Amino acid sequence: MRVAAEGKLERTLRLARGLLWRAVPLLLTAAVVALLLSQVSVAAIARLLAGASLPWLVWGALLLLGSNVCRAFRLAALFAARPAAVSRLFGVACALSMFNNALPARSGEVTFLYMMRELIGVPVGEAGAVLVVARIFDYLAVATLFVSSALLSLSSLRAQALWATLAVAAFLLLTVAALALLPWVGQAMLGWLQRVCELSLAQPNGRAALLGPLVRVAESATRALTITRSLPTYGLTALWLLLAWSGTFGWFWAFLTATGVHAGPQEVVVGATFAVLSKAMPFLSIGGFGAHEAGWTVGFMLVGFDKELAIASGFAVNILTMVTSFVFGSVAVLTLFWFRRHRRSASDTAARLVCLRTRISSREALAWARRAVISPSSSFSWVSSA
């Protein structure tokens, strides 16, 4: 009786912890958004959205699409050893953008592993390694564009911008170092996992059965890191990501201009970088709300915006970005899974045709054997005529 009660209590506590973990993103998002909205009226955000210019919205949507095209070519460069159609990689890039906007704590990255395995046929370890390299190059491209724009417009920025520029420049150097050391780090992690697995084989606790798949994933990831570590691959990846992030800051600028808030391209790069970096962190928020607006506010206050305009424009641009990425991402997901279903039905049809031909061949061979037993001379003439 007591054991049953303790088991029930443990299940209740586990359920409560699960519910609390799911509620944390909502609560944290609500707290940050409430704090920001207390500094600006919702009507100000609504006015910016209601007065948005349609031509600038179209330009922003086109730049968002162009940015995802560049990300697709980035993936093609990193997966050069496993060629895949750029059109499918473009669909994966659009879908990943939507999921990262909608899911909390950057958990949209998990959908990339799933889509690459199910739709492209890339193992989880290899896809995870490529994702890590891609994210490092993301930070490298963002930091490069930020430092360049900040140095070009340093005279018009506030005094605090100099320290922010130096901090991002230091982050840029750390990113380059991490990229250079990544293959060796992967090899060291693989060796550690293999040793742990060997030690667990002697213990009948089932731990080795769990570590075996991890070792295989780590081996795949280490091979991928070694393959991608080449100057041509890194050069193509950096080029496509510089273009992709230029497009990202371009759609921020287009959406900001659409709402009637005017700023120069260099100011948008400097201000939006803080939103990009805060949104890239595993911050527990949903739809990027809270993290994006907080970073956007800090960045655009550095370039001279007042606090109310920085907060209102941050919400407006984020809402426009979410709506656009949701439209393109939904179409991409539906298209990718339609092609997957179509490809499976085509392969099933081909398999049935092969099976049918095999049955026909088997029947012909059986008929020949029967004729050979009944009349050897007739079977010989049948083979000669065939």
Q: For 232-273, write each residue's pLDDT tens digit.
A: 888 898 899 999 999 999 999 999 999 999 888 888 998 898
CA-nearest of 352, 360, 326 to 102 is 326
CA-nearest of 320, 285, 363 to 26 is 285
pLDDT of residue 312: 93
CB 144, CB 237: distance < 8 Å: no
Rounded Cα distance between 79 and 130, Å, is 8
CA-nearest of 47, 89, 145, 62 to 339 is 89
Higher-confidence residue of 289 and 353: namely 289
Q: What is the dihedral of CA 245, 321, 293, 56, to 10 degrees?
A: 80
pLDDT of 365 over the 60 cut:
no
Residue 248, token pair as written in the block: 């990202």
Highest mean pLDDT (candidates 97-101, 148-152, 304-308, 326-330): 326-330
Q: pLDDT-derived band of residue 227, with 50, 70 and 90 as boundaries?
A: low
CA-nearest of 40, 62, 63, 49 to 256 is 49
pLDDT of residue 246: 94
Instruction: Find the farthest-apart pair of alpha carbons in the chain and give their distance in angstroms, rounded.
Output: 103
- What residues contact residue 378 under an 8 Å CB cut-off, 6+ apart? 371
pLDDT of residue 385: 44
Give the whole-number percent of the chain exceeding pLDDT 70: 63
Q: pLDDT-derived band of residue 56, with 50, 70 and 90 as boundaries?
A: very high
pLDDT of residue 201: 52
**Any idea what DSSP says for residue 82?**
S
Q: Residue type for 101, please?
A: N
Alpha helices in the chain (DSSP H): 2-37, 42-50, 54-78, 86-102, 108-115, 124-152, 160-201, 207-228, 231-258, 265-280, 291-302, 307-374, 376-385
Higher-confidence residue of 1 and 165: namely 165
Q: Which of 225-239, 291-305, 308-322, 347-361 has the lowest mean pLDDT?
A: 347-361
Supply the mean pLDDT for the chain. 76
pLDDT of 383 over the 50 cut:
no
Higher-confidence residue of 371 and 161: namely 161
CB 311, CB 299: distance < 8 Å: no
Neighbours of 156 (CB within 10 A): 13
Q: Which of 168-182, 276-290, 293-307, 361-375 has the lowest mean pLDDT?
A: 361-375
- What residues contact residue 198 under an 8 Å CB cut-off, 6+ apart? none
pLDDT of residue 117: 87
Q: pLDDT-derived band of residue 48, with 50, 70 and 90 as boundaries?
A: very high
- The pLDDT tens digits of the residues spanning 315-348 come to 999 999 999 999 999 999 999 888 877 766 555 5
Long-range contacts of range 334-342, CB-CB < 8 Å, 24 or more positions apart? 335/91, 336/88, 336/91, 336/92, 336/95, 336/115, 336/119, 337/119, 339/88, 339/119, 340/118, 340/119
pLDDT of residue 209: 52
pLDDT of 379 over the 80 cut:
no
pLDDT of residue 386: 45
Q: pLDDT-derived band of residue 110, with 50, 70 and 90 as boundaries?
A: confident
Give the whole-number percent of the chain exceeding pLDDT 90: 24
Highest mean pLDDT (candidates 226-230, 336-340, 350-354): 336-340
Phi-psi region of 375 (alpha: psi -120 to 50; beta: other; left: phi over 0): beta
